[in-house]
Chains A and B, each alone.
Chain A
Amino acid sequence: KNQVEQSPQSLIILEGKNCTLQCNYTVSPFSNLRWYKQDTGRGPVSLTIMTFSENTKSNGRYTATLDADTKQSSLHITASQLSDSASYICVVSKMGGSQGNLIFGKGTKLSVKP
């Protein structure tokens, strides 16, 4: 079964600290992996999209890594800010599947405290 598992389920950190969120997937054949940020009451916003050949991709203070061999990805947030408080969702696309049929993880809820 194609699945995307994220950990931790929730995380609380102090402002200014770094954190790393994990994503494991069993989707096959793999096409690409995306990280989205979803603020409460808002739709998800794309942070990064990585294909099979990409190991690392950065977007400002966000750095995503991908190990296609172990089917693991991580999202590292540097120097966290209060505005980083949100759910971070890992999404995997299956090769040959319709573009709409993205497989979403349940997300990690991050709370950044002052």
Chain B
Amino acid sequence: GAGVSQTPSNKVTEKGKYVELRCDPISGHTALYWYRQSLGQGPEFLIYFQGTGAADDSGLPNDRFFAVRPEGSVSTLKIQRTERGDSAVYLCASSLDTGAVTEAFFGQGTRLTVV
């Protein structure tokens, strides 16, 4: 596709449930990033992939959060035993490489609401 695509655009789940959020990066982009954005805040870094491997997962808040990118393209962010505090917009971005000034392109986000 022309841009970064995230699905679903909205997800409502019950506390304690498991959710998966999907990100389709721009074709050919080797780097992929996940961010979380709470209302009125800037995005906060979660994890970034270079190819298939997680190059930096220091932003994942706890072990309920996990992300994979098995074939170096599509990525899935997985959240176990969801809590109300997990409610936020989850943004995915991709870039051609990891150069310092390489532009990152963002998807429209998945709005997760835990009730």
Task: Tell me whether B106 and A101 are in contact (CB under 8 A).
Answer: no
- Residue A102 at the chain B interface, CB threshold 8 Å: yes
Rounded to whole Å, the gap between the CB of A63 and the closest CB of chain B is 18
**Given A41-B108, A46-B104, A98-B98, are A89 and B56 also a contact pair (CB < 8 Å)?**
no
* Residues from chain B with Cβ under 8 Å of A93 in the complex: 100
Q: Does A80 contact B (CB under 8 A)?
A: no
B interface: dominant SS: loop
Of the A-B pairs whose beta carbons lie under 8 Å apart in the complex, a sample of 10, sorted by A's number, is A32-B101, A43-B106, A46-B103, A51-B100, A98-B48, A98-B55, A99-B48, A99-B100, A100-B48, A102-B45
Chain A residues with CB under 8 A of B102: 99
**Interface magnitude class on chain A:** 20 to 34
Cα A86 to Cα B28 with chains together (Å): 30
CB distance from B64 to the nearest CB of A (A): 20
Complex: chain B residue closest to A101, CB-CB: B45
Asked if B44 is at the interface (CB within 8 A of a chain A CB), the reply is yes
Evaluate contact between B108 and A43: CB separation under 8 angstroms: yes
Q: How far is the CA of A99 from the CA of B105 in the complex (A)?
A: 13
Cβ B99 vs Cβ A100 within 8 A:
no
Q: Footprint of B on A, CB under 8 Å?
A: 4, 31-32, 41-46, 49, 51, 89, 91, 93, 95, 98-102, 104-107
Tell me if B31 and A100 are in contact (CB < 8 A). Answer: yes
Q: Which residues of B contact A31 (CB under 8 A)?
A: 100-101
Given A31-B101, A44-B43, 5 further pairs, Cβ under 8 A: A49-B101, A98-B56, A98-B98, A100-B33, A100-B56
Q: A43-B93, A100-B31 are in contact. Are A32 and B106 (CB under 8 A)?
A: no
Of A43, A105, A107, which is within 8 A of B91 by CB? A43
- B100, A106: Cβ atoms closer than 8 Å: no
Q: State how many angstroms separate the Cβ of B51 from the closest Cβ of chain A.
A: 13
Least CB separation from B93: chain A residue: A43
**B42: contacting residue among A43, A99, A100, A105, CB under 8 A:** A105
Report whether A51 and B101 are in contact in the complex, using a CB–CB cutoff of 8 Å: yes
Cross-chain contact A100 with B47 (CB below 8 angstroms): yes
A100 contact set on B, CB distance < 8 A: 31, 33, 45, 47-48, 55-56, 59
